[in-house]
Structure 1
Amino acid sequence: MASRRICLWFVFMIFTQSVGEDMRSVQMSSMRGSKFQCASPSCLPFVNLITSTIMKCQMACLAQIYCRAASFHQSTSNCELFTDMSNEIANMATDTDITTMIVIAGTRSPPEPTTTSTTTSTTSTTTSSTLTTTSSTSTTTSSTSTSITTSSTSTSTTTSSTTTSSTTTSSTTTSSTSTSTTTSSTTTSSTSTTTSTSSSTTKTPRIWVTTGSLNTARQYHTATILTNGKILVTGGDNGIYLDSTELYDPASGIWTNVGALNIARRIHSASILANGTVLVAGGQNSTPINSAVLYNQVTNTWIVTGNMNSARMSQAAVTLTNGKLLVIGGYDGSNFLNSAELYDPSTGIWTSTGNMNSIRTNPTAVLLTNGKVLAMGGYDGSNYLNSAELYDPSTGTWTTTGSMNAARDPPTVSVLTNGKVLATGGASTGGVTLNSAELYDPSTGAWTASGSMSIARAGHSASLLANGTVLVAGGYTGSTYLSTTELYNPSTGLWTAGPSMHTARGYHAAFALLYGTVMLSGGTNGTSSLNSVELY
C-alpha cells in the first residue's frame, strides 16, 4: 500500500547573477515519500549532487534550465536532477527517505528552452464586456501537492485564483489575500467561424549570461567536469605560469580555490578517469615538464603520481574505455613528438605504447564510439598537418585513415550524436586562419566538407549541445579576438549565427555541462588574460 504523501510549502530565494540581471524563478510541486524515476531502468539522473539541504537541491534545479525534477535523499543528502529526455517520465516510486520536486510546466523564468501551444477554434460569438479588478482573495485546497514558488527577486507577485477540491485524505489549506492594480479591458462584439486546428512550437532564443568570475584570470588552462557536476579549472597563465586550481559549483555560481598543483603549468592536459579522479599531466613551466598529479574530488586534495616517460607540452589526452589514459604527441623542449604512452590508474605507472605514424604537436584526439582513438592535425615542426590516424587499444598500434581536406593546427573537434566527428577552423598552411568545417565518418574513414563558418577562427571552442547541434564560440581571426558564435546543425549541414558573448575571447576553456548549458571560462581578449565566465 502506497505511503501517504505529505505536502509542504517551501518559499525561498535563489541567487542573482553577480554581473547583470539574471532573475530566475520556478514553481515546483513537492511530494514527500516519493522518488522520481524513469520509464526505462537504464535511465539515470543527468546530475547527481551532494547538497546539505533540500533548499540547495531546489536551487540546483533552478540553476540548471534543463532540470524538470529533483529527488532529495534526506539520509545521504544526495540530490538527483532529471531532465525531460524521451525515456524519462514522472513515474513515482514510494520511498520514505526521499522528497521529489517537479517543475510545473510554464512557470520557469527565464522560460524553458521550448514551449508548445495548440489552438483549436470553432464558431464563437463575443459580446462587448468590461472587466475591472480591484482586489482578490486566493484560497487553495489540495491533498496531493503544493506549489513551491522560488524567486531571486525581492518583489512579490500575486496571482488571483480559487481552486476547490474534494478528497478523503488529509489536505493542507493555505490562504492569502492581495490587492492588485485596477485593470480594465474592453472587447468589441464580433462573430467568427473557423474549422482549422493549429499547432505551433516556439523555441525561446538562448542567450549568454555571466556567472561568478574566476578568482584568478587565466588562459591556456584546462576545465574538467566532475562526476558530482562541479567544474575543476587548473593552471594556465596570465603573464606568469599558474599552479592555482579552482572549483565551480553550478548550484551557487561560485568559484573556490582548491589547492595548488605541485608545479605551475600551462598547455597541459587534464582528464577525468573512471574512478572519478582527475589526472593533470605535462605542460609548460618555462620548459616542458613530465610531472603528473591527481585530484581527488572526495577528499578535495592533490596527490603526486608517476611521471610520464617524456616531458611534453601541447599534447592530447584521451581516457580509454578500459580505464587507462592515452597521451600522445606534443613537444619536449627539443623535439616534436610522435610518441604515445598509457597511464594505468591501478598502478600509477606510465608505459610506452605504439608511436604515431606522424610527428604531431597540438594534435586533437577524440574517442570514437567503437573504442578507437582518432588523432588528427597539428604541426610537425615544419608543416601544418591534414593527416589523421587511428589508435586501437586492443593492439596498441596506429593505422592511417583518411586525411582532412585542409591542414589544421589544431582543429577544434566535436563527436556528434551520430558518431561522426566535426572538425572546425584552426590555423593552416602559411598561418592562414580557416572558416571551413568537415566531417569524419568512422564507417568509411573519409572526410567530407560540411559548410563554412561565417568567420575564420582559431583558438575557439566547439561544444555539443543537448539537441545535437554544435556551438562554436570566440577565437582569433589572425588579427581580432571574437565575441561571435555560430551553430552547426548536423541534420542540415548548415551554419547559423548564434548570440554574441559579453566578452571577446580566445584560448579559453569550454565544456557542455551535464544539463545542456555551455560554460566558457577565462581566455584572452588580446590585451590581457580574463577571469570572466559566461553560460549559454
Structure 2
Amino acid sequence: MHQARFYHSASLLTNRKVLITGGALNSVGLNNSELYDPSTGNWTTVNKMNYAGFAHTASVLLNGKVLISGGIMDGFLGVHRAELYDPLTEDWIETASMSHKRVIHTAAVLPNGKVLVTGGLDHDRIILKSAELYDPSTENWTITSDMHTTRSQHTATVLSNGKVLVTGGMDTDDIVLRDAEIYDSSIEMWTNIASMHDNRTMHTATVLPNGKVRVTGGISNGSIILKSAELYDPSTRTWTVTGNMNYERYGHTASLLTNGKVLIAGGINHNFRGINNVELYDPSTGDWITTATMYGERGFHTASMLLNGKVLVAGGIDHHGITTKTAELYHPTTDTFISLDNIKVFGTNKKNGMSLNNSKLD
C-alpha cells in the first residue's frame, strides 16, 4: 500500500476493486484512502475522507456506496460522524450523523438494505448497548431497540435467515462476555440465546455454507489468548465446542473461501505480537490444517475476499509492533501467498519462494 496502517477498513466494491480507508499510524488517525485493482495488481490513492479516523466501520451498501461510521476521529474517542464513498466519482460525501458517538462497534448490512450499528464505546468511555439503523434511501439514522447487554469489540453476523447474531465483546466492567443475542429486523427486537462456551472479544464469526456460524479465537478474561473454536446452529440456537485452532490468536481475520473452507490469518499471540501463522478450517471434516505462512507478520489487519477467489491481506501491526504497509495475496488453488511488495511467492515452506517478475498478480 502507499500508507502504513492498522485498525483500518477494507471494502470490496461492485467494480471488483478494494477500498482501504483510514486506520492509524503510531496511534494517529489517517484520512487517506486507496484502491487495490486485482486486474492490474496496482494501488492508487483516491480522495481523502472528510475526517481522519480509525476503529470505525465500513459497510458496502446495496447502491454500491460505502458507509463509514464512528471511530476515533481527529483525536476524539467515539464520534457520531458518518460519510459515504461513491465509487463512480471517487468522492467522499458527509451524511447524517449517528444518534450516538461510538468506536469499536459493529455494522451489519441487512437484507432490506439498511445498516444495523450496535454497541461500542462512546466519547466518555462508556460501553453502549444502544443500536440504530441507517437507511440509504433517506440517508438518515433511526434508533432501534437496545441490545440486552452493553458490549464493545464484539461481532455482528448476518445469518442466512436475515437475522443478526451478536456475540461476546466487553461490558461496562471490562469483563469479557460469552453471551449472545439475535436481532430480528422484521420486528426490530433482540432475543437472548444460549451463551458461547468461552468468554471472548476481538474474535471472528463466519457464516458457513451450511448456515452455521464458526467463531474463532479472541482474548478472554485475564488476558488469556484463545485458540478455541465453536459452532452456532441457528436451527437449534445452540453452541457446540469443536476442535481448537493450532495457534492462539486475536485481532486476526477469517475469510470464507469459494471452496467452503475458512482461512484464518495472522493476529496477535500470547506475546502480544503480530504473527504470520495461517490455518484452514474444513467444515466437511471439522479439521484445522496448518497452511501457507504469510510473508509478513500482522495483526489488526484486513483480509478481503476477491471475486477471483483470492484473498487480499493488507496492513496491520507486525512482530515488532510496527505498523506495516505491506500487502499479500493468498491463492487457494496453490495454497501460497504472494507478497505484493517484493514479488515473491511463499508457501508452507518459505524456502520455496520464487520470483514472479513479469507475472500477473491476480
TM surpasses 0.5: yes
Contact persistence 2:203–2:251 (CA under 8 A): no
1:288 Cα deviation after fit: 1.3
Contact persistence 2:250–2:269 (CA under 8 A): yes
**Structure 2 counterparts to residues 326-337 of structure 1, below 5 A:** 326-334=116-124, 335-337=126-128
Secondary structure of the corresponding residue to residue 430 of structure 1: coil
**Structure 1 ranges of 4+ moved more than 4 A:** none
Structure 2, unmatched stretches of 5+, are 331-362
Q: Give the distance between the partners of 1:274 and 1:497, measured in 2 at CA.
A: 36
Deviations 1:229-278 (A, max 9, x none): 00000000111210001111111111111111111000000000011100
Q: Give the distance between the partners of 2:14 and 2:132, measured in 1 at CA.
A: 25
TM-score calculated relative to the size of structure 2: 0.88
1:364 Cα deviation after fit: 0.3
**Structure 2 counterparts to residues 57-76 of structure 1, below 5 A:** none
Secondary structure of the corresponding residue to residue 317 of structure 1: strand
Instruction: Please point out which of 302, 324, 341 is paired with 1:509.
Output: 302
Are positions 1:250 and 2:38 aligned together? yes
1:481 Cα deviation after fit: 2.0
Q: Give the distance between the partners of 2:127 and 2:298, measured in 1 at CA.
A: 28
Secondary structure of the corresponding residue to residue 211 of structure 2: coil
TM-score calculated relative to the size of structure 1: 0.60
Contact persistence 2:134–2:140 (CA under 8 A): yes
Q: Which residue pairs with 2:342 in the alignment?
A: none
Secondary structure of the corresponding residue to residue 222 of structure 2: helix
Are positions 1:532 and 2:361 aligned together? no
Secondary structure of the corresponding residue to residue 454 of structure 1: coil
Are positions 1:293 and 2:83 aligned together? yes
Name the amino acid aligned to 2:143: S
Q: Which residue pairs with 1:473 in the alignment?
A: 265
Q: Which residue pairs with 2:341 in the alignment?
A: none
Instruction: Please point out which of 354, 358, 371 is paired with 2:162.
Output: 371
Instruction: Please point out which of 353, 356, 362 is paired with 2:153.
Output: 362
Are positions 1:267 and 2:55 aligned together? yes
**Structure 2 counterparts to residues 14-413 of structure 1, below 5 A:** 214-239=1-26, 240-285=28-73, 286=75, 287-334=77-124, 335-382=126-173, 383-413=175-205
Q: Give the distance between the partners of 2:82 and 2:134, measured in 1 at CA.
A: 10
Structure 1, unmatched stretches of 5+, are 1-213
Higher strand share: 1
Name the amino acid aligned to 1:484: N
Name the amino acid aligned to 2:42: I
Name the amino acid aligned to 1:421: V
Q: Which residue pairs with 2:291 in the alignment?
A: 498
Deviations 1:303-351 (A, max 9, x none): 1000000110000000001110100000002210000000011111100
Q: Percent identity?
A: 47
Secondary structure of the corresponding residue to residue 256 of structure 1: strand
Deviations 1:403-461 (A, max 9, x none): 11101112211110111000000000111000000000000000101210111001111
Name the amino acid aligned to 1:218: R
Contact persistence 2:203–2:252 (CA under 8 A): no
Contact persistence 2:274–2:321 (CA under 8 A): no
Q: Give the distance between the partners of 2:39 and 2:239, measured in 1 at CA.
A: 41
Q: Which residue pairs with 1:57 in the alignment?
A: none
Q: Give the distance between the partners of 2:67 and 2:179, measured in 1 at CA.
A: 28
Q: Give the distance between the partners of 1:441 and 1:410, measured in 2 at CA.
A: 21
Secondary structure of the corresponding residue to residue 33 of structure 2: strand
1:494 Cα deviation after fit: 0.7
1:478 Cα deviation after fit: 2.5
**Structure 2 counterparts to residues 406-425 of structure 1, below 5 A:** 406-425=198-217
CA RMSD of aligned residues (A): 0.8
